[in-house]
Structure 1
């Protein structure tokens, strides 16, 4: 199954050229549902080091920083990371941003984080690369650290892929498959919430490094 993760760089270039504020258009930037869903969790961390995977132009990171977290964002797209740095500077919001391929075995991040946020990134990761991705998350989390997943999800028990330009573009796991993946990677799943949508559903999972 062929993958082309750098398609996200192309799409960020297109977003900037279109005059959007970020990935997927302005509405997604001005309504950061991921942040609201994390903040609504009972017993969630309220401070500490937070890493967002697939941070894009940093709108989630900036929102978490304003909630008192020390934020770091990573993305495979150089355009996205440059954009995130520009926005953080122009808005006077602290944050550290790196270009990183989360499917690379040689990922060089060495910090430990109290919270890792999947910024709608995991559903962009395909097949065996997901194991590498989740192993990195486990390594990067501090003991008992929180992993918050925000992902597309199938509407039944079947998992499948979406393709774009001949490449696998999205992994749409079932709820059961995603929970099993996290448990195999060493996480204790604490809370699962599925949000019904017209095509694929959306899911959030709060897990802890066991």
Structure 2
């Protein structure tokens, strides 16, 4: 019998992060880096202030960085603790942003706003199986015409996609480069730029795509 993913494990991990005194997911060293923002800006040539949605925003460090650059930001996360944390940090820093809890694997979810940019804040590789189709359908419907979807995700080192497990449940989907591109295309998202970053265990990939 195939095990179902437990997406609420992320709530447990955010609770633990707060309890041990970390600044956010993965520890303080990870929070000190703005790699995702830098990689996006290397490809983004827009000069106007636009509406940006981050999927899997956690405690909001990417959203706050984008807001400093003039983006009108909204963050979504499945973890209530993460969203409460993001709101606290936004208030403490005086940076604007909307944050709300939502499960992007629910087909019934309705996102009322449309955004010029959607950022995958290392969230897509947390989505398993058929839920990935639902997730990407939400991305497509949330974007304005010619909207940008920027993916930052784990990636396999070859043509094999696979899952890792945590507590006997699927935890990460490590897609191959080609399978990820096919998923995006099937969802109506055209990849314009793809970069793979070599790492020891699994690679990392960024994809700059537009709503086709």
RMSD: 0.9
Distance 1:204 1:154 in 2: 13
Cα distance in 2 between the residues matched to 1:55 and 1:147:
15
- After TM superposition, the structure 1 = structure 2 runs for residues 102-113 of structure 1, keeping only pairs within 5 Å, are 102-113=104-115
The 3-state SS of whatever aligns with 2:145 is strand
**Residue 16 of structure 2 aligns with which residue?**
14
Unpaired stretches in structure 1, ≥5 consecutive residues = none
Aligned length in residues: 210
CA distance in 2, matches of 1:47, 1:31: 23
Which stretch of structure 1 is more off in the superposition, 21-30 or 42-51? 42-51
Alpha-carbon offset, residue 16 of structure 1: 0.2
TM-score (norm 2): 0.97
TM-score, normalised to structure 1, is 0.98
Q: Which residue of 1 aligns with 2:204?
A: 202
Report if aligned partners of 1:189, 1:207 keep a CA contact under 8 Å in 2.
Answer: yes
Q: Mind listing any 5+ residue stretches in structure 2 that lack a counterpart?
A: none
Moved over 4 A (4+): none
The equivalent of 1:5 in structure 2 is 7
Q: What's the offset of the Cα at 1:42?
A: 4.9
Matching residue within 137, 140, 148 for 1:138:
140
Q: CA 1:42–1:9 in 2, change beyond 3 Å: closer, same or farther?
A: closer
Partner of 2:119: 117
On the 8 A contact 1:45/1:115 being kept in 2, the answer is: no
Contact 1:123 1:151 in 2 (8 A): yes
Question: Partners in 1 of 2:103 and 2:46 — Cα distance?
Answer: 28
State the alpha-carbon separation in 1 of the partners of residues 29 and 63 from structure 2: 17
